[in-house]
Amino acid sequence: MTPPRRTRTAAALCAAAALLLTGCGGPHPDPRALSGTDSSESLDGLLNSYSLALPNCRTTDLRFSGRSKEWGKELLLTFRAPERCISTYLTDHDVTDTDLRAWPHEGRTVLNGETQPPDSPPFGTDDLDRFGLTPDPAKKNRTSGGFLTTSHARFKVFIVPGSPNPTIYLRSTYNGEKES
């Protein structure tokens, strides 16, 4: 016996919704992509959309995610590199040692009119989850919001010390495109 038409329609709609929610295409073809990255996005495409290049040194544990063309354009990028390389990379993008703040911060910070505790996370919960990052206040972490690209895109930066190399996390906060 064939199920009623309404049941078949509901089942088809549920199946279509499930495909949309799971990304339709299975895992991302690039193993460096963070969970939830659209399979049509490539690291090169995302970097180009922000006029950003990777540093000129050996990096490890590189991971990325983002959207390069649509509303909601964003980029999340993380990698490990030697301290000197990260320092040069930051300087090349207008972040000096004096721009880097210790995290947790000394005292309290005001953000959007609200006082934040010194150990307020460097990124939102969703971004922390995607990065797989749980900031450790016992480490000598550093942060800055002034990382700029040639297209005037801005990134928040969080650096976690490590041995043998620190890890840098970058999250776009402004995509550099003028609003029309």
pLDDT in tens, 106-159: 876 776 678 878 888 999 999 999 999 999 999 999 999 989 999 899 999 999
User: How many helices (H) and strands (E) are present in the chain, helices listed first?
Assistant: 4, 8
Range with top average pLDDT, 14-28, 102-116, 163-177: 163-177
Report helix, strand or coil for 82.
coil
Q: For residue 17, what pLDDT band results from cuts at 50, 70 and 90?
A: very low
Reading the block at residue 2, the tokens are 């064939």
pLDDT value, residue 114: 80
Residue 52 CA neighbour count, 13 Å, CB half: 30
Q: What is the pLDDT of residues 55-98, one digit of tens each?
A: 999 999 999 999 987 677 899 999 999 999 999 999 999 999 89
In this prediction the pTM is 0.80
